[in-house]
Each structure stands twice: as C-alpha cells, then as structure tokens.
Structure 1
Amino acid sequence: MCGMNSIRSPMAEVLARQFLPKSVYVASAGVRAGERDPFVDAVLAEDDLDLGDRQPRSVDELEDDFFDLIVTLSPQAHHKALDLTRSLAVDVEYWPTPDPTVASGGRENILAAYRDVRDRLKAKIAERLGQKDDAEAPE
C-alpha cells in the first residue's frame, strides 16, 4: 500500500508475485487512486515484467480485505493501514520507500530514481519472502 497506487505499490505487487506461489493472493492499493505512471512500466520492462492492463486503485476498491500481511511504503499509507486494521488480526509492516517523482533532471536521472525504488523493493521482498530455489525459478 502506498499513497496513490501509481508507483511503489504496483511495483511491489508485481515483484512479490515473482516470489510467491500463484495460489497466494497479492494485491496493491493506495490511500487514493492516482494515475498510471509510464516510468513504472519502463523500469519493470527492464526486468521483463509488466503491469498488464492494471490501473491504480484505492484501498476502498479492493475486492478482498482479508490479508495476513499489509506492507506500507509511505507514511500516509502506514497510518491508513493501522487505522483500517485496528480490530483485525493482520500484520502491518512499514518499509519506508522513497518517492521517485521528486527526482529532477533529465529522463535518465528520473529513470535512475525509479530503478532505485524497484531495486530496493526487490531486495526487501527477497529478504522478507525468501529467494526462490533454482528449481522453482522461471527459465
């Protein structure tokens, strides 16, 4: 979960799917829905990943609200998750993740900020969910 489900949380959703079996439900959302960000598509494509036709959505738009774990990537999302789960048995973890939209300069500078977020999320997800065995890794 992040602020607008445009950058950090959709990246995390796609990356988490690489580590989890298809039977595990993974979804991302934002405190509010933003606009799809083309830089996310660009940096995911570098890893042969994509969002498909997925569009940003808010927490209120999720079809399922039964989660074992909610990972928040921004302070705003963390406060919202804690408020939503006050009476639920769900773990909420906060992974502070920079907002790449604050990057300035040319296209390469901006892409570098998005790559940094992608790589940080990939490392954190691998650490939290565990690396796939070579036998399970896609060819």
Structure 2
Amino acid sequence: MEAAGPRPGAVLFACSLNSVRSPMAAAIARDLFPGKVYVASAGVRRGAADPFAVAVMEEIGLDIRQHRPHTFEDLEDMNFDLVITLAPEAHHRALELTRYYAVDVEYWPTGDPSATAGSREQIMAAYRNVRDGLRKRILARLGPLEATA
C-alpha cells in the first residue's frame, strides 16, 4: 500500500478514551517521522493511563508513561491536515468537529485490546497486535521513510 497523496503536516489520532490506541499510534508516528509530521492524540472521553499499552510500547523502545489522556475539547485547535479515527465514536465526533474545516478524516477500525480477557500473555498479545497493526498502517499512509545521509 502506498501513501495516499503527500504526507500531511499535522495528524491527530483519535479513539474512545485516549489511553491505548491513539497514544500508541501517536508515539509510533512521532518515532517514524520525527520533525516531519506534527502528531497529537485525543479521545471522546478521558480514560486512565493503561499499563499494558505502556509495556508493549516499551518493548519497541517507545516510552508513553508520560502520556495523560485528554479529549477533543482539550485540544487548542483543530488545525490538522488529517484526523485518523480508531473507534466508531471517535469517528463520529471527529466528523462533527471538522465539518466546517478542510480536514481529511479517515476511519481505521482498530479493536480495543483492553477488552481482551485471559492470561497476561494473551492480553499482551492483543496489545502487540494492535501496536504492530498501527505501525504498518501508519507507514503505509504517511509514506516511506526518507533515507538518512
């Protein structure tokens, strides 16, 4: 899959609680495109920090321990080129908030790993699956990494 058009300059990742999917996606995008794309995340409602999300991100060298969940209303503005929503309610809220702006809104259906039951390893596997899926989609959507000289 190739990037759809030029790389956006500012991207917002949004999910339900801004505690798992959107902060994971934001951290991945910042890591892949440092200084190339402004990245933020938000939720429809404010959730609580998620230790499983922190753990699976640490596995790939990304630290999201300092992330504090916040909502769309906490954002200073909606000056984004692209809003990527990861949950149905976030998609509906993003469409409401951006209807008068020239902002692309894309829905990437992404399961909520916090709903996974089972052993710690089963739960961690669900979080890893979401993390790895987001990384793959972010690379595909935001374009190839530039070669460093």
TM-score range, shorter chain: over 0.9
Alignment gaps of 5+ in structure 2:
1-13
Q: 1:39 aligns with which of 27, 38, 52?
A: 52
Is the deviation greater in 9-18 or in 62-71? Answer: 62-71
Paired position in structure 1 for 2:135:
122
Equivalents in 1 of 2:65, 2:142: separation in Å?
Answer: 23
8 Å contact 1:19–1:131 — kept in the other structure?
no
Q: 1:76 aligns with which of 89, 92, 106?
A: 89
CA RMSD of aligned residues (A): 1.3
8 Å contact 1:32–1:57 — kept in the other structure?
yes
8 Å contact 1:19–1:130 — kept in the other structure?
no
Structure 1 residues 93-121: Cα deviation after superposition (integer angstroms, max 9, x where no partner): 00000110121111000000000000000
Equivalents in 1 of 2:65, 2:55: separation in Å?
Answer: 12
Q: 1:108 aligns with which of 100, 121, 134?
A: 121
Greater strand content: 2
Instruction: Check if 1:61 corresponds to 2:61.
Output: no
How far apart are 1:74 and its partner, in Å? 0.3
Identity of aligned residues (%): 54
Paired residues in the alignment total: 136
Q: 2:145 aligns with which of 117, 132, 135?
A: 132
Q: Give the AA of the match of 1:17.
A: R
Equivalents in 2 of 1:105, 1:124: separation in Å?
Answer: 27
Paired position in structure 1 for 2:41:
28
